[in-house]
Structure 1
Amino acid sequence: MRAIMVMVPVLIAGCATMQPPMAARGPCVIDERVKMRFAGVKFRERMRPEIEHAANAAMSRVLRPDDAATMDFRAERLNILLDDGGQIDGLRCG
């Protein structure tokens, strides 16, 4: 009985600290507002979550000139296209 009394507060505390599940994102959507916000901006890896969120994308990949990429279409994926200087040249879903 004593063991149960000790365990109950521990179990309750563990449940109280659980994070709510993240909302599912996707499909990717790029509108004019998103294009204008990021066009010509020097890409930094720390920007990736912000760009994904703005495009409602669950994942992304960065493609530089001459990078090889699969041609499969994934509605929840954002392609971040960079120019030779590392600036965002375009955003494309798939």
Structure 2
Amino acid sequence: MTLENSLMSSAQRYAKGLGGLFAMVLLAGCSSAPNEAAAPKPPTVEQTAPVAQACDANAVQYAIGAPFDEANVATLEEQSGATQVRVLRPGTAATMDYRDDRLNIHLESNDMIEALRCG
């Protein structure tokens, strides 16, 4: 056996050993079963949060075209059944999240009420 053949076979043996070790590590990671005792139980009806009262924008449509001031926010909130009010002026950035219990008051540039929507 020449030195070149001896080195080649050593390298091949080393590569095969690493390949086998790699395969064992992969299989060991796949073989463990999940611990079912650690998983949380799904919520029951008693554990869920209460459903918020939905907003009714139809009840306040009379205010469209009226001038807006901070004093009528409480009135619009109460009459619509909303638990939160958001005032949106032209060019105002707003999140796109939908909230069943929120009244959105859309204003024109002259602070006149343009639209009243829930969401």
Q: Which runs of 5+ in 2 are unaligned?
A: 1-51
- Counterpart of 1:53 in 2: which secondary structure? helix
1-side partners of 2:85 and 2:53: how far apart? Answer: 11
Q: Which runs of 5+ in 1 are unaligned?
A: 1-24
| More helix as a share of residues | 2
2-side partners of 1:48 and 1:26: how far apart? Answer: 18
Q: CA deviation at 1:30?
A: 1.5
2:106 matches 1:81 = yes
Q: Which runs of 4+ in 1 moved over 4 A?
A: none
TM-score by length of 2: 0.55
Counterpart pick for 1:71 among 76, 96, 101: 96
Percent identity between matched residues is 41
2-side partners of 1:27 and 1:88: how far apart? Answer: 21
TM-score by length of 1: 0.68
What CA RMSD, in Å, does the superposition of the two structures yield over aligned residues? 1.2
Structure of larger gyration radius: 2
Deviations 1:20-61 (A, max 9, x none): xxxxx7210121x521x2011110001101001111100101
